Amino acid sequence: MAIRRGRGVAAINYPTGMNLGGDPTQALVHSTPTGNFMVTLSSVDLGQGMKQIMAQICAETIGVPTDRVVVDTADTDTGPHCMGTFASRGTHRAGNAVIQAAKEARQVMLEVAAEELEVNASDLETDGQGNILVKGAPQKSISIFDVALSAHFKRGRSISGRGMFLIPRSYPEKETGAMKPSTCYAHACTVAEVEVDDETGEVTVLTMKNVFEIGRALNPKMVEQQLVGGSWMGISHALYETTEPYYPNRDHGGTDFNQYLMPGPGDLAETEIIVLERPSADGPYGAKGPGEMCANPQIPAVANAVFDAVGVRIDTLPITPERILRALKAQAAN
């Protein structure tokens, strides 16, 4: 009887969006009288940080610092339509809608600035700090604050924009299944290293090395928290979680966090996250959806590592000590 070590690898891709149902999201952007920008959505922030990402996308597109942007989610009296927050679509779909709305608002802003500076709007650029400059003559400039005041109180302009991102629904072809279920794909490859106690069937995940390709990391810190959390969830799926431990038997389901097993802080593997960026052609600043993909590769990587360690295949999730012991017993009997 011994503690045995093994490692396993898995590689995956993951689709962004839900074209099989049609996939619209809309956004509105408008300036306040002093040149702050309000993004109005009815997309939901589930804790993944959608508000922050939409603020950064709007700020980048208009040319202001992120703290000049406020994001309003989600009120059906004020927010335009969004399909919802799922299918790894939030950043990708809402982000594209916000870019379109912000571009339209930026154009109005530059037109007002052009009137104030008596130049053509096409000769203007933003400095990202809250100012609009004449290209090649940066000493000739106006603050966005003053542009907004002019628009609201002097020129009767609304610095605002409408954004829409719609992927038309894909109807699968009946006989061949030809379909376009999504636009872009994120990718990952994970290597898990485990220890299996062949006497108790217990698995300890030692290291989880995750490489993710997500288009663009719009906010690297938030990407990191998403990917670390997802890696934990993958371990949890692989080894612990189920509402029906003896499926299809309905009994023994957990009803609270004492009975529903998940790994605690002491069970967390040493986690490494590496991110590659291949911008997607249709993503906002190249972003793909990393939200769901990041919890998937750990599950087969752990299963493969368990085999590498003790030579039994557990093809039923979760990979519990009981299943491992039964498999080891069967292996010994043969």
Closest alpha carbon to 106 in 78, 140, 74, 68: 68
Least Å distance between CB 15 and another protein?
Answer: 7
Neighbour tally for 155: CB within 10 Å: 13
- CB closer to another protein, 153 vs 257: 257
C-beta of residue 123 within 8 angstroms of C-beta of residue 117: no
- CB closer to another protein, 199 vs 244: 244
- CB closer to another protein, 248 vs 265: 248
Least Å distance between CB 153 and another protein?
Answer: 28
| Cα 160 to Cα 76: distance, rounded to the nearest angstrom | 19
C-beta of residue 223 within 8 angstroms of C-beta of residue 290: yes
- CB closer to another protein, 152 vs 319: 319
Least Å distance between CB 135 and another protein?
Answer: 16
| Cα 43 to Cα 232: distance, rounded to the nearest angstrom | 26
Least Å distance between CB 165 and another protein?
Answer: 15
Least Å distance between CB 141 and another protein?
Answer: 17
Neighbour tally for 175: CB within 10 Å: 6
Which whole-number Å values give the CA distances from 258 to 263, 265, 322, in the listed order? 12, 15, 19
